[in-house]
Structure 1
Amino acid sequence: MSVLIRGGVVVNADGEARADVLCEQGKIVAVGAGLQAHGGVEVIDAGGQYVMPGGIDPHTHMQLPFMGTVTADDFFTGTAAGLAGGTTTIMDFVIPSPQQSLMEAFRTWRGWAEQACSDYTFHVAVTWWDDSVHADMGTLVDQHGVNSFKHFMAYKNAIMADDEILVKSFRRALELGAVPTVHAENGELVFQLQQELLRQGITGPAAHPLSRPPAVEAEAVQRAIAIADVMRTPLYIVHVSCAESVAAIALARSRGQRVFGEALAGHLVIDDSVYRDPDFDFAAGHVMSPPFRSRAHQGSLWNGLQAGNLHTTGTDHCTFCAQQKAMGRDDFTKIPNGCGGIEDRMSVIWDAGVNSGRLTPSEFVRVTSANAAQIFNMHPRKGVVAVGADADLVVWDPEATRTISARTQHAKGGFNVFEGRTVRGNPSHTISRGRVVYAQGDLRAVKGAGRYVERKPFGAMFDALRRKQTQDA
């Protein structure tokens, strides 16, 4: 069935205009005034609402085996929750165990993701190095549409990538036209601080932010930027959480370096007081890395989005139930790291960003969809309301309010870091691949309806960077 969205204001990253949108066979086929509906067309009245590209969450972890357990949300429940919140594409992470083949891990994640009800794609983590990893990176880029590789600078004795791995992997990414991404925390410092806190008898969730202060993140950000500069590769830094990191990214960009930054919805509105709550379940429910920071850092993140030094907003959606979090009741280092948010990201950012005047509607589209599509080479298929693009759309009611609660969310885990927050601005309809999958509270998610999105490697930009590296040598 075709879908005609009538009477709304179409918002793209470069502006907005009143127009109708017609979708057929999963694509946008017309955008303009006075489009007519014929037989077999589902008509959505978008009067008084915005029509925007469906959200792209560049950072999720569905069905992730982590810290001795597995996240509560699988690819079906997680993507269904995303559709309810206006997110139509997720970028998840394939994370091989040390010594595990990248291709073996990739095939495992592809199998898990077959139940997704929205589109999905993958970053692949490099957690170790030998010639097989070098070869697998090439296979992933050339044959499987992967153009980004993740590096964890944290999690010592597990999946942490040391500087040797970073250098070799960044060099290989440049050869392939792929973007290196990093989780920037100094893993050695984190480990040493954790051990010192435990020796002092500080074992609860309040120790978590103490073991990961802003300087730990800032050092890793600066180191990753320096390595990328020497290797002449672009760099994407996930979940930037502190002022020092924003400043390092801004400085690098002012020198002409291609560095991109991601902020999480939670880091924009939640502060570190949550870890001092006497209720273990509440405090542990907020344990994620990097941790939530003081309110002063929130202001720096918003400034980074406004100034164009932070480019995307994600969630790091990684849900665990109270029983799983309780694994660390006597030792905070054993609390599974992760929080949810995919269902609430767009509403929280609209309410805290657009309603406050920090962002315009077009800037909202940039940081929730368009920039991710462009950075990871999915544009113009994704991230834009235009003829020929995928019919992934959200009809946005700027006056609709709701109070966020774990009791009413579609995501699993039984906890919500935005609990009790009332947001103004919510999706009334979500369209995925030309099909209405959410309508006025009615979620119509279909298991397996999502498709894997292949992303081509980059060409001209990487050719110039490679030439520059050769000239410098």
Structure 2
Amino acid sequence: MSLLIRGGTVVTAEEMKRADVYVADGLIKAVGQNLDAPAGAKVVDAGGQYVMPGGIDPHTHMQLPFMGTVASEDFYTGTAAGLAGGTTMIIDFVIPAPNTSLLTAYDEWRGWAEKACADYSFHVAVTWWSDQVYEDMGVLARERGVNSFKHFMAYKNAIMVPDEDLVKSFARCLELGAIPTVHAENGELVYHLQQEILKKGITGPEGHPLSRPPEVEGEAANRAIRVAQVIGNPLYIVHNSCKEAIEAIARARGEGQRVYGEVLAGHLLIDDSVYRHPDWNVAAAHVMSPPFRPKENQEILWRALQSGTLHTTATDHCCFCADQKAMGRDDFTKIPNGTGGVEDRMAVLWHHGVGTGRLTPMEFVRVTSTAAAQIFNIYPRKGSVSVGADADLVVWDPKGTRTISAKTHHQKVDYNIFEGMTVQGVPSHTISQGKVVWENGQLNVTRGAGRYINRPTFAPVFDAVKKINERRKPAPVQRTSKAAQ
């Protein structure tokens, strides 16, 4: 079936213009004024609305086995919720247990994701090191469409990567033309602080941010940046939450280093007072890492997003219900880390970004879609409104409103971190692969319709980077032995 989106204003990261968009066979076929609808085509009236690329959430964790339980959201419910909010693609994470083959874990996650109703891709985490990991990374990059590898600098005694393995994996990424990404928190410091705080008798959720102060994030971000600088990698740092991390990224970028930063919608809008809520369940529902920060960090994050120090927005969507959070009722270190947001990211960013003048509509498109597509090498297939691109689109009603609530959201979790927030600016229609899957409050999705999206490596680009690095190296010093003298 073909589709004509008529009468809207097309918004991309580069321009805004009045145009119709014609879609057929899952692709954008034409963008222009006064396009004719072929016989039998569905027509969507976008008058007074914006037509934008569908959102790309580059950081989700559907169905994740973690901290003794499994995230409540699976790939079907999670991608459906994303579509309801205007997000048409996610990049999730394969996280192998230590000593588990990366390929075995990848195949397992691909199996779980077959139920997805929107397109998806995977970052793959390096949680240990061996010759087999080295080889698996090559297979994933060359044959499985993986061009990014994740490194957890936190979660000691679980999935934390020591510096020795971080260096080896970064070097392998450079060989493959893949981007290393990091969760930047000093895991040794976090573990030490957790034990000290528990000794003081602090066992509730308020202990969580105390054990992960901004300094542990800033230190790890700077360490990863300097490792990448020496190896010669670009670097992507996920969920930056504080001034210390922003300063490290800004300094590196000022020195000409290719460092890309991500920020979560939650960190832009929620502060650490939630951990002192009198209701334990509410406080525990907000436990995630890095934690929500003191309020003054929010303006710093917004300015970094506006200035280009931060490039993408995400959710770190990883849902655990109240009974799962209760695993840590007597010990905050055992509360499963994670919150939701894949359905709400676009609306809260529009309301608090575009609605306040912090972002233009074009900047909104860049930080919710285009930048992720470019950084992870799927642009212009994704993140654009152009002929030949996938017909993943959102028709955005800037006057539409919604009050966010766990009672009405589509996410499979019993709490919403944006509970009670009324937003102006919502999707009236979401189009995935050329099909209208969300229309005026009604979701019409097909289980298993989502496709795995290959992301090619940047090998040719990295070859040029390596040549530049070689030219920067000082010439070897020629020394004459005493015997020759």
Does the TM-score normalized on the shorter chain lie above 0.5? yes
1:95-244, aligned counterparts within 5 Å?
A: 95-244=95-244
1:328 pairs with 2:328: yes
Q: 1:85 touches 1:347 (CA, 8 Å); kept in 2?
A: yes
CA distance in 2, matches of 1:469, 1:220: 24
Alignment match, 2:480: none
Alignment match, 1:80: 80
* 1:294 Cα deviation after fit: 1.3
CA distance in 2, matches of 1:235, 1:177: 12
Q: Which consecutive unaligned segments of at least 5 residues does structure 2 have? A: 475-485
SS in 2 for 1:224: helix
CA distance in 2, matches of 1:383, 1:165: 33
* 1:469 Cα deviation after fit: 3.5
* 1:460 Cα deviation after fit: 3.6
CA distance in 2, matches of 1:291, 1:32: 45
> In structure 1, what residue type is equivalent to 2:302?
W
Q: 2:205 touches 2:275 (CA, 8 Å); kept in 1?
A: yes
Q: 2:339 touches 2:417 (CA, 8 Å); kept in 1?
A: yes
CA distance in 2, matches of 1:133, 1:405: 43
Alignment match, 2:394: 394
CA distance in 1, matches of 2:81, 2:13: 24
Cα deviation, 1:431-473, whole Å, max 9, x if unaligned, reads 0000000000000111000000001111343112222333427
SS in 2 for 1:229: helix
Alignment match, 1:64: 64
CA distance in 2, matches of 1:75, 1:82: 10
CA distance in 2, matches of 1:129, 1:81: 36
Alignment match, 1:271: 271
> In structure 1, what residue type is equivalent to 2:202?
I
Alignment match, 2:479: none
> In structure 1, what residue type is equivalent to 2:77?
T
CA distance in 2, matches of 1:254, 1:464: 21
Q: Share of identical aligned residues, percent? A: 68
* 1:245 Cα deviation after fit: 0.7
Alignment match, 1:379: 379
Alignment match, 1:316: 316
1:259 pairs with 2:256: no
SS in 2 for 1:239: coil
SS in 1 for 2:58: strand
Cα deviation, 1:112-153, whole Å, max 9, x if unaligned, reads 000000000000000000000000000001100000000000
Using the size of structure 2 for normalisation, the TM-score is: 0.97
1:55 pairs with 2:66: no
CA distance in 2, matches of 1:173, 1:466: 12
CA distance in 2, matches of 1:172, 1:35: 49
Q: 2:103 touches 2:136 (CA, 8 Å); kept in 1?
A: yes
> In structure 2, what residue type is equivalent to 1:415?
Y
* 1:215 Cα deviation after fit: 0.2
Q: 1:232 touches 1:468 (CA, 8 Å); kept in 2?
A: no
CA distance in 1, matches of 2:181, 2:72: 25
Alignment match, 1:350: 350
Supply the RMSD in Å over aligned alpha carbons.
Answer: 0.7
Structure with max Cα Rg: 2
> In structure 2, what residue type is equivalent to 1:454?
N
Q: 1:231 touches 1:469 (CA, 8 Å); kept in 2?
A: no
CA distance in 2, matches of 1:47, 1:23: 17
CA distance in 2, matches of 1:44, 1:199: 61
Provide runs of 4+ in structure 1 moved above 6 Å: none
Cα deviation, 1:17-61, whole Å, max 9, x if unaligned, reads 000000000000000000011222110000000000000000000
Alignment match, 2:463: 463
Alignment match, 2:283: 283
CA distance in 2, matches of 1:402, 1:80: 18
Q: 2:4 touches 2:43 (CA, 8 Å); kept in 1?
A: yes
CA distance in 1, matches of 2:152, 2:462: 23
Q: 1:170 touches 1:228 (CA, 8 Å); kept in 2?
A: yes
SS in 2 for 1:248: helix
CA distance in 2, matches of 1:399, 1:162: 49
CA distance in 2, matches of 1:466, 1:241: 31
Alignment match, 1:444: 444
CA distance in 1, matches of 2:132, 2:22: 47
Q: 1:55 touches 1:87 (CA, 8 Å); kept in 2?
A: yes
Q: Which consecutive unaligned segments of at least 5 residues does structure 1 have? A: none
SS in 1 for 2:428: strand
SS in 1 for 2:223: helix
CA distance in 2, matches of 1:228, 1:418: 35
1:406-417, aligned counterparts within 5 Å?
A: 406-417=406-417
> In structure 2, what residue type is equivalent to 1:184?
A
CA distance in 2, matches of 1:200, 1:40: 70
* 1:100 Cα deviation after fit: 0.2
* 1:420 Cα deviation after fit: 0.3
Q: 2:178 touches 2:459 (CA, 8 Å); kept in 1?
A: no
Q: 1:312 touches 1:367 (CA, 8 Å); kept in 2?
A: yes
CA distance in 2, matches of 1:135, 1:468: 27
* 1:244 Cα deviation after fit: 1.2
> In structure 2, what residue type is equivalent to 1:161?
V
CA distance in 2, matches of 1:460, 1:18: 37
CA distance in 1, matches of 2:163, 2:465: 21
CA distance in 2, matches of 1:197, 1:203: 8
SS in 1 for 2:8: strand
CA distance in 2, matches of 1:383, 1:38: 26
CA distance in 1, matches of 2:353, 2:461: 32
